[in-house]
Amino acid sequence: MGEDNNACETNCIPCRFLQTCVSFGDMRNVQVHIVGCGDAFGNGGQMNTCFLVKSSALTFLIDCGATTLPAMKKQGFDTDDIDAIMLSHFHGDHFGGLPFFLLEAAKVRHRKKTLTIICPPEGKQRLTDAMQALYPSSMSIDKELDLRFIIYEARKTLTFRHIRLTAFGVKHSPAARPHGLRVEVDGCTISYSGDTQWTDELLPIAENADLFICECNFYTQHIPGHLDYRTLNAKLPLLGYKRIVLTHLGTEMLENKKNIALECLAEGQVISL
């Protein structure tokens, strides 16, 4: 099980800063499948955060919340198809599904294909701790799986195969290492706020994005660490996205959906870019 800090796999083009990135062309062959888009508590019966992205080069997850494995099975996805998992931060509703995903891959599916986990610093240790708590001694799977870790840093760009990823620090629980992500693949840009209250870091995350997935946990309540619709709506003129969709809706948002002008995600939804 390997770990690289701000590094790409062997055959990738090195790319650490946004302004020096190479272009992969405009292929436009990307689908975003909404595996889960609920908040931490499953309000509205929604599964935890997980977005499955299919591109011409590879298939990857953005976040892997605690309910990811059953949600993928319910929607008919094959976990062996996943080449990489990108994590925005280390809260259970965003990375808590990883131990179950890996245990099944090792013990049931006997996966041989490399799986790359792209995450904030401490990713390997956080996963080890989670697996030890849930299934003691389970990290022996590192001898059964070909796991690679790529660690990102805020405002540095890395490439993985035909994906270009830039992370931005956002305002959530600091101990969870929260980041928003900007993913460029097949000529498309998918941006994701992660969990955050308003921060100006959302401006470069959303800028000219074909799809900006933005958390909006509350409607009018102003709770540190999360966005509310009233605040987001006031800031919309500053955000340069092409399309915005809302995710991570809590009870207050669900109760006010009829008053929300922006598109809200739904499980099973497919967005073609």
Tokens of 27: 């292929």
**Secondary structure of 108-161 in HEC code, one letter for each residue:** CCCCCCCEEEEECCCHHHHHHHHHHHHCCCHHHHHHCCCEEEEECCECCEEEEC
Q: Which pLDDT does position 139 carry in this prediction?
A: 73
Q: Which pLDDT does position 165 carry in this prediction?
A: 98
Mean pLDDT of 22-27: 46
**Greater pLDDT, 97 or 20:** 97
* pLDDT exceeds cutoff 90 at 151: yes
Return d(Cα 54, Cα 61) in angstroms, integer: 9
CB proximity list for 70: less than 8 A, separation 6 or greater: 47
Mean pLDDT of 196-213: 98
Strand (E) or helix (H) holding 166 = strand 163-169
* pLDDT exceeds cutoff 50 at 225: yes
pLDDT digits 0-9 by tens, 190-200: 999 999 999 99
Overall number of domains in the chain: 1
* pLDDT exceeds cutoff 70 at 11: no
Cβ atoms of 171 and 193 closer than 8 Å: no
Mean pLDDT of 223-242: 98
Q: Give the other-Cβ count within 10 Å of 15's Cβ.
A: 18
* pLDDT exceeds cutoff 60 at 12: no
Q: Which pLDDT does position 143 carry in this prediction?
A: 87
β-pairing, 188-192 vs 179-185, is: antiparallel
pLDDT digits 0-9 by tens, 98-148: 999 999 999 999 999 999 999 999 999 999 999 999 999 887 888 899 999
Strand (E) or helix (H) holding 272 = strand 270-272
* pLDDT exceeds cutoff 50 at 87: yes
Q: Which pLDDT does position 1 carry in this prediction?
A: 54
Full residue range of the structural domain in which residue 106 is found = 2-272
Q: Which pLDDT does position 140 carry in this prediction?
A: 80
Return d(Cα 250, Cα 136) in angstroms, integer: 33
CATH of the domain at 12: 3.60.15.10
Mean pLDDT of 154-172: 97
Q: Which pLDDT does position 252 carry in this prediction?
A: 98
* pLDDT exceeds cutoff 90 at 39: yes
pTM above 0.85, yes or no: yes
Range in 53-67, 134-148, 154-168, 175-189 the model is least confident about: 134-148
CB proximity list for 78: less than 8 A, separation 6 or greater: none
* pLDDT exceeds cutoff 60 at 183: yes
